[in-house]
Amino acid sequence: MKPVDLRSDTVTRPSAGMQAAMTAAPLGDDVFGDDPSVNALQEKIAAMLGFEAALFVPTGTQSNLCAILSHCQRGDEYIVGQMQHSYRWEAGGGAVFGSVQPQPISHQPDGTLALADIEAAIKPDDPHFARSRMLALENTLGGKLLPFAYVEQATALAKSKGLTTHLDGARLFNAAVAQAAQTGGSATHEARRIAQCFDTVSVCFSKGLGAPVGSALCGSNELIGRARRVRKMAGGAMRQAGVLAAAASYALDHNIERLQEDHDLAMRLARGLQGIEGLVVEPPQTNILFVDLTGSARDQADALLKHLAGQGVMATGLYRLRFVTHLDVDAAGVDRAAAAIRSFFGR
């Protein structure tokens, strides 16, 4: 039986339609700036999110690195949440390559950084301190949608203190679809509203959008010009990258609105796990479901993961399990995952 792979939304394979778009893509040498498919993608995502320019990069990690090193100089710092990817999961790249110091802040339960904490972290102009240069937020953060009013307030605060702002929007379109469900607006309208609060925005095509590779950093011509140099330095300038850009472009045309299906499936899985003793199921806001094992269920964590693997159900975590829904799982797969967990607990 085909495994139900809920480890991440990065595991999707390009669909037949996407592969056809990749095969048909006109190509050039993007280091010379003449790959038409890369140029078209960059123009499309920049226009969609309301920026002057965009840069296609191989990964979200490199996109965040390009942002940090384009906003900040050696000896500057950026304010960031403890759990944000650009602080915790990127091997300290801003510090290693740019001598840029992160100033991490603890998150509130809803994923936000308290405005008072941000304000307190901004240093005065004093030779004792690193120069506070940038505020970095992430949306969605662990699958949570940052409230839009908060995004407006936090970025306005940063700007009022002379800081620039960067959004790690690896899952910006998941945020936009969830926000659209609240406001009744379209997902692309909401994506643009969120993005326009920031000086730069990074989006991943290789997550829920279903492309095999790639991210884009969006910003002003000046900032993207600087980011282009960082990308070169980091080894991320690619040649006939249009074959990848075409997949990303296809994803923007076909796979945004359907993210709602992934959100619905995460909720379906959450409902399927209700009422099992020792499991605390956090109601998912988008496509990521966290399930905490408590009490005696904790002692069974290893055995549970082995049981799931035996049933062809893949997830990450141990005491805090993470299930991510995406384009390549369906309701039957999610129901199989729920049944495998219930059978383990004898329910």
In the complex, the residues that contact ligand PLP under the rule CB under 6 A are 59-61, 64, 85, 138, 168, 170, 204, 206-207, 215
Least gap, CB of 189 to ligand PLP (angstroms):
22
Least gap, CB of 245 to ligand PLP (angstroms):
15
For helices 36-49 and 242-254, angle between their N-to-C axes, nearest 10 degrees = 40
Least gap, CB of 56 to ligand PLP (angstroms):
13
Residue 72 vs 204, nearer CB to ligand PLP: 204
Residue 170 vs 178, nearer CB to ligand PLP: 170
3-state helix/strand/coil string of 62-92 = HHHHHHHHHHCCCCEEEEEECCCHHHHCCCC
What's the rounded Cα separation, in Å, for the pair 294 and 243?
Answer: 47
Residue 163 vs 288, nearer CB to ligand PLP: 288
What's the rounded Cα separation, in Å, for the pair 7 and 324?
Answer: 6
Q: How many CA atoms lie within 13 A of 243 on its CB side?
A: 6
Least gap, CB of 57 to ligand PLP (angstroms):
9
For helices 259-272 and 331-344, angle between their N-to-C axes, nearest 10 degrees = 20
Least gap, CB of 138 to ligand PLP (angstroms):
5
Residue 168 vs 262, nearer CB to ligand PLP: 168
Helix (H) or strand (E) holding 42, with range, is helix 36-49
Least gap, CB of 59 to ligand PLP (angstroms):
3
For helices 36-49 and 187-195, angle between their N-to-C axes, nearest 10 degrees = 80
Q: What is the dihedral of CA 113, 119, 122, 124, to 10 degrees?
A: -170
Residue 135 vs 293, nearer CB to ligand PLP: 135
Residue 76 vs 138, nearer CB to ligand PLP: 138
Q: Return left, alpha or beta for 317; rule: phi > 0 is left, psi -120 to 50 is alpha, else beta.
A: left
